[in-house]
Amino acid sequence: MKRKKQIVRNVILIALTALLFLWQGGYHLTPERVFRSAEKAEWLGPAQEVMEIGTRGDDCLCFVGIEQEGFYVVSAKPSMGIFWKHTNEHWAGYFPVKEKTRAWILEDFIVGQTKEPEAVEVVCVVEEWKSEKNEWQEVGRYTIPVGENGFFSMALDSYVPRTMNYWVKEVICKNAAGEVIAVNKQ
Q: Which amino acid is present at 80? A: M
Residue 174 has pLDDT above 70, yes or no: yes
Residue 68 domain boundaries: 27-96
At which of 43, 76, 96 does a domain end? 96
Give which of 169, 119, 166, 108 is closest to 144, Cα–Cα: 119
Q: What pTM did the predictor assign?
A: 0.75
Query: Same domain for 116 and 169?
Result: yes
Higher pLDDT, 31 or 93: 31
Query: Same domain for 83 and 138?
Result: no
Which residues, listed in sequence order, are joined to residue 123 by a DSSP beta bridge? 143, 172
Backbone angles phi, psi at 29, to 5 degrees: -85, -25
Query: Same domain for 66 and 48?
Result: yes
Q: How many other CB atoms sit within 10 Å of the CB of residue 99? A: 13
Query: Same domain for 42 and 109?
Result: no
Query: Same domain for 62 and 107?
Result: no
Is 21 contained in some domain?
A: no
Q: Which of 6-20, 51-65, 170-184 has the lowest mean pLDDT?
A: 51-65
Cβ atoms of residues 99 and 139 within 8 Å: no
In this prediction, residue 29 carries a pLDDT of 84
Cβ atoms of residues 111 and 72 within 8 Å: no
Is 16 contained in some domain?
A: no
Mean pLDDT over each residue of the chain, to the nearest integer: 83
Query: Same domain for 50 and 125?
Result: no
At which of 96, 111, 142 does a domain end? 96
d(CA 30, CA 178): 40
Query: Same domain for 107 and 176?
Result: yes
In this prediction, residue 90 carries a pLDDT of 59
Residue 11 has pLDDT above 90, yes or no: yes
Query: Same domain for 109 and 185?
Result: yes
Cβ atoms of residues 139 and 166 within 8 Å: yes
Which residues have C-beta within 8 Å of that of residue 185, sequence separation ≥ 6? 169, 170
Cβ atoms of residues 146 and 122 within 8 Å: yes
Q: What is the dihedral of CA 87, 89, 94, 96, to 10 degrees?
A: -130
Is 60 contained in some domain?
A: yes
Q: How many other CB atoms sit within 10 Å of the CB of residue 107? A: 19
Element at 66 (helix H, strand E): strand 61-67
Is 86 contained in some domain?
A: yes
DSSP 90: G
At which of 56, 71, 96 does a domain end? 96
Instruction: Give the domain CATH number at 119.
Output: 2.60.40.10
In this prediction, residue 160 carries a pLDDT of 59
Query: Same domain for 158 and 114?
Result: yes
Query: Same domain for 145 and 116?
Result: yes
Find the mean pLDDT for residues 68-86.
Answer: 84
Percent of the chain with pLDDT over 90: 14
d(CA 49, CA 98): 18
Cβ atoms of residues 108 and 78 within 8 Å: no
Query: Same domain for 49 and 76?
Result: yes
In this prediction, residue 164 carries a pLDDT of 62
Residue 60 has pLDDT above 90, yes or no: no
**The total number of structural domains that make up the chain:** 2
Percent of the chain with pLDDT over 70: 93
